Structure 1
Amino acid sequence: MDPTDIARWQFAITTVYHFLFVPITIGLSAVIAGYELTWLRTRDERWLRLTKFFGKLFLINFAIGVVTGIVQEFQFGMNWSDYSRFVGDVFGAPLAIEGLLAFFLESTFLGLWIFGWDRLPARLHAACMVLVHIGTLFSAYFILAANSWMQHPVGFAFNPETGRAEMNDFAAVLFNKVQLVTFPHVVLSAYMTGAAFVVGVALWHLRRARTAEDRAVYRPAVRTGAWIVLVAALGVAVSGDVQGKIMTEVQPMKMAAAEGLYETEAPADFSVFQLGTLDGEKETFSIKVPGMLSFLATGTPNGEVEGINDLREKYRDTYGADPGAAYYSPGDYTPVIPLTYWSFRLMMGLGMAGAAIAAWILWATRRGRAPTGRAVLAAAVALPFLPLFANSFGWIFTELGRQPWAVFGLMTTEHSVSPGLSTGEAWTSLTALTAVYGVLAVVEVRLLLTWIRKGAEELPPDVPTDAGEDRPLAFAY
């Protein structure tokens, strides 16, 4: 294999693995903050038990997520030095702010939240988790600003002497129109994922609860989590619709590839399911919704959607005719159609399935009901994974659909890889990182299952609600 292909596999494996932790961290921090604030308002110890219980699970996820995220930074220097050199002036500011402001905010106040139980005033302690969640939002915003620049480069000038993109408008980078629709879509999907995790865990405990007290603890978690999943799913659908129209405007090839649409059509249909040749060029069977692709792309059921063939010629004329641009690479300009097609549908299908299960759970637990059938157990196991994998397929679609571009219209992936990277070096790092991540996966699953089985432990009889006498900091768990 070519070193570029190996480097792409490595980046895909480590990035998709890392992103499994990100939406749970964002969503779960919001849910935990809400539970602790509810306890402050009601002084009902059920909410405090839920806060402590899901706080432990959050800390496990956060710790593994931090470890896996560090690798992403080193990869840019290891395998993608030409890319780093080209985008460094643009990426430097948002990523530095993410590290110095957002992650500092998260880690500092998370530390205070962990060690501040029984030490900090109750309101201040709850405020720490609120600030942790705000930190996750800042972190997501600045990282997405960098990624959105790759999708739609703005606020820069290309310096032919240095061969670099140099930022000249920081505000344009931060408020890129792709960023403004991507951020709410990602955050709402994270709320959906975090809440689905809460519902799955709480529903499993509700099904096996033996006492009325335990049922009284887990049932509110199931209900609140399911409502968050439904409301967030609605927001994801609306923001995703807007994002699709912006995507069609700035990256029309990605929308055409999402349908495997080779010829320009008006109106263009959307296939719920399609079979055809391996390259996706010829269709043998499909189930289609008339005009739906036109609506997703343009907002009207009769709008014109450009096909892959026309866009391919347009890109060749635009980018392939400039031999003086070192970062332009004449070629196909077409992503892998089957992967783009199915990742787009799995993103939407899994998300809708998660929302449907949440709606069913709300119905099954109405008016004090606590269902115990096998269907409930299946829902508890399946629900956390549906929005989680929908997030992953969404990012696969976002990044894969941009190919062959690393930075759309400026730099191809082929020109991004480190020039001195050998096949042996690429294989070594891929094998080593995959093995390490495999070990971390075992550790993560083992820790989560261990603490999930323990459930929301009863509180000691002397749990204080405000700071008392001066005492040394103590780890609450």
Structure 2
Amino acid sequence: MEVTDHMDPTDLARIQFASTSIYHFFFVPVTIGLAFLMAILHTKWYRTREIRFERLTRFFGTLLLINVAIGVVTGLVQEFQFGMNWSAYSLFVGDVFGAPLAMEGLAAFFLESTFLGLWVFGWKVLPRRVHLLSAWLVAVGAMLSAAFIMAANSWMQHPVGYTTDSDGRPVLSSIGDVFSNPVFIWGYIHVILASLVTGAVVMLAVSAWQLRRGHLAFKTSALVSLIVLLPASVLALGVGSHLGVIEATYQPMKISAAEAQWETCQPCSFSLLQIGGFTSSDEGATKILQVPHLLSLLATGTWDGEVVGLNELQTQSEAEYGPGNYVPDVAIQYWSMRVMAYLGTLFFLVALWGVWLAARKKLPTSRVFLFLATWAVPLLFVMNTAGWLLTESGRQPWIVQGLMKTADGVSTTVSATEIIVSLVAFFVVYLFLIVLDVVLMLRYARRGLDVPEEERASDDRDTPALTY
């Protein structure tokens, strides 16, 4: 009891929400990306009636189902936490925040789960067109679900479309403004592209593992994944770059922290790597491999744009909101942004390499590429987690930018002991779920298609490079 008396319930509630959110976000981009890719495979089966496409659709559909089953459980915990650990926040923003969440549950999740059931049980029962439509509606439902969640989250980053009541609480005045929020539009596009990258890399990794064992039917799914991965990775990098301009406009503290830029600069260089300089007591950093003007381009979209430093932004925030520390954890911001950007570039290079091999008809025999592609999946989750940390940690100390601080949003009736107990319980349950998910995914990913040898040879002869 003495230990919990010295622990801040706010910090514990943040740790709990962060840990469950990171875990849940492992599954979200995989679901969105795999649903889209599975619908592509189903479409090819519908058009060609080739048995390999049916087998591949069923194969990757099974992996999708495992991922959805675990992801739904973890997603429910997220929404319950708003009422448990963050009741003050829920009371304050419920009139605005509740609308997109209700839309997600009543529209998007209902659409996705209904047609996923139809797709699972519709084989040999539904008309082929209806069955195909159900596959695409699963993908649409997954993307819509992300849209409503991102709309709510983007409102926390840049509140729009609201008025305040007599108690100073925000009240929704324009749902159109919420969904036209520039933070939402560009953030949502980025999430969808990152999800396509995630789904494509997962499909590529499974296909590469199978190809290394001589199962040539998976050359088709490898090609599909590469065809999606290459443009998605390029666009994700471009949209992510533009998000820097959006953040500099509405959350300048976030973009300055991502560069550990304490003093205002113009033009501004971007450091590929630096040592030190992450705290106000140690602002002098050893910057390694600086790229001139790049920070100006990322933050302002112009060659010589000005980036306001953290010290000046802190002074402005104190003048507007009162005394306090308004600088987020600079080290988390700095490294999260680089991990996300560097790994995103790496996946683009992998896609480029794979397409080049496919064009030369060497994809199934390139042992080095297939080995590296198989082990690329863990880096996906590192990249996606880094992006989540960059977005959410960079908003601190605000839970709603400019309206409510995180410390004011926690439930006052929940003790540190209660949060610790639930945190341990979540850790145990989630550990079990992640082990179960990994075991099931690996077990079904290794099963193969049971394709006869003569059909494998036919697939290898008849499938030209860069076609599917």
Question: TM-score interval w.r.t. the shorter chain?
Answer: over 0.9
Give the secondary-structure state (helix, strand or coil) at the position aligned to 1:365. Answer: helix
Aligned ranges for residues 339-418 of structure 1 at < 5 Å? 339-372=332-365, 375-418=368-411
Name the residue aligned to 1:297: 299
Amino acid in the other structure paired with 2:71: G
1:472 aligned partner: none
Deviations 1:88-118 (A, max 9, x none): 1001111111100100000000000000101
In the other structure, the counterpart of 2:42 is: 36
1:278 to 1:183, Cα distance in 2 relative to 1, 3 A: closer
| Pairwise CA distance, 1:282 | 2.0
1:188 to 172, 190, 193: 193
Residue 175 in structure 1 maps to residue 156 in structure 2: no
Change (3 A) 1:340 1:171: same
Deviation at 1:365, TM superposition (A): 3.4
Aligned amino acid, residue 273 of structure 1? L
Output the amino acid matched with 2:333.
T
Q: Which moved more, 1:18-27 or 1:379-388?
A: 379-388
Q: 1:103 aligns with which of 109, 114, 124?
A: 109
- Structure 1 residue 244 and structure 2 residue 244: aligned? yes
Secondary structure in structure 1 of the residue aligned to 2:163: strand
In the aligned structure 2, how far is the partner of 1:345 from the partner of 1:334?
19
**What are the superposed Cα offsets for residues 413-460 of structure 1, whole Å, 9 maximum, x if unpaired?**
11111112211011111111111110000100010011011022449x
Q: Which residue type is aligned with residue 165 of structure 1?
A: P
Tell me how far 1:389 sits from its aligned partner: 2.4
Q: How many angstroms does 1:173 deviate by?
A: 1.1
Range 195-204 or range 171-180, more displaced: 171-180
Give the aligned partner of residue 282 of structure 1.
Answer: 284
- How many pairs are equivalent? 444
- Distance (whole Å) between structure 2 residues aligned to residue 398 and residue 365 of structure 1: 36
- Unmatched 5+ stretches in structure 1: 321-329, 460-477
Q: Give the Cα separation in 2 of the matches to 1:440 and 1:334.
A: 36
**Per-residue deviation, 1:281:** 2.2
Q: What is the CA–CA distance in structure 1 between the aligned matches of 2:81 and 2:350, rounded to whole Å?
A: 38
Which residue of structure 2 lines up, in the alignment, with residue 142 of structure 1? 148
Cα deviation for residue 157 of structure 1 reads 1.6
Q: What is the SS of the residue equivalent to 1:20?
A: helix
Work out whether residues 31 and 67 of structure 2, in 8 Å CA contact, stay in contact via their aligned partners in 1.
yes
- Equivalent residue letter for 1:291: H
1:167-198 CA-to-partner distances (Å, cap 9, x unmatched) read 11111112111111111111011011101100
Q: Summarize the alignment of residues 62-81 of structure 1 with structure 2, pairs less than 5 Å apart.
A: 62-81=68-87
Cα offset, 1:6, TM superposition: 0.8
> How far apart in 2 are the matches of 1:196 and 1:448?
14
Counterparts in 2 of 1:196-235, with a 5 A limit?
A: 196-209=201-214, 214-215=215-216, 217-235=217-235
Q: Contact 1:351/1:386 (CA < 8 Å) preserved in 2?
A: no
Output aligned runs, 1:292-331, within 5 Å. Answer: 292-320=294-322, 330-331=323-324
Matched residues in 1 for 2:224 and 2:305: separation?
Answer: 40
- Verify the 8 A CA contact 1:94 1:142 in the aligned structure 2: yes
Question: What residue is the counterpart of 2:273 in the other structure?
Answer: 273
CA–CA distance in structure 2, aligned partners of residues 202 and 50 of structure 1: 10
5+ unaligned residues in a row in structure 2: which ranges? 1-6, 453-468
Question: Match of 1:258?
Answer: 258
2:87–2:409 Cα contact (<8 Å) kept: yes
- Over the aligned positions, Cα root-mean-square deviation in angstroms equals 1.4
Name the CA distance, whole Å, in 2 between partners of 1:65 and 1:458: 31
Percentage identity across aligned positions?
48
The aligned amino acid for 2:285 is E
Say if 2:430 is the partner of 1:424: no
Alpha-carbon offset, residue 122 of structure 1: 1.2
1:191-230 Cα distance to aligned partner (Å, 9 max, x none): 1110110000001101111xxxx31x11121122012111
2:32 corresponds to which of 26, 33, 36? 26
Contact 1:353 1:386 in 2 (8 A): no
- Shift of the alpha carbon at 1:378? 3.2
Q: Which amino acid aligns with 2:245?
A: K
State the TM-score, normalized to the length of structure 2: 0.92
Alignment check: 8 A CA contact 1:49 1:457 kept = no
Alpha-carbon offset, residue 278 of structure 1: 5.3
The separation in 2 between residues aligned to 1:455 and 1:20, in whole angstroms, is: 24
Instruction: Tell me the CA shift for residue 371 of structure 1.
Output: 4.5
Q: Aligned with 1:157: secondary structure?
A: strand
CA distance in 2, matches of 1:207, 1:363: 18
Contact 2:211 2:370 in 1 (8 A): no
Separation in structure 2 between the aligned mates of residue 118 and residue 309 of structure 1, nearest angstrom: 65
Q: Distance in 1 between matches of 2:283 and 2:419?
A: 33
User: Following the alignment from structure 1 to structure 2, what is the Cα–Cα distance between the partners of residues 191 and 457?
Assistant: 28
Partners in 2 of 1:126 and 1:95 — Cα distance? Answer: 28
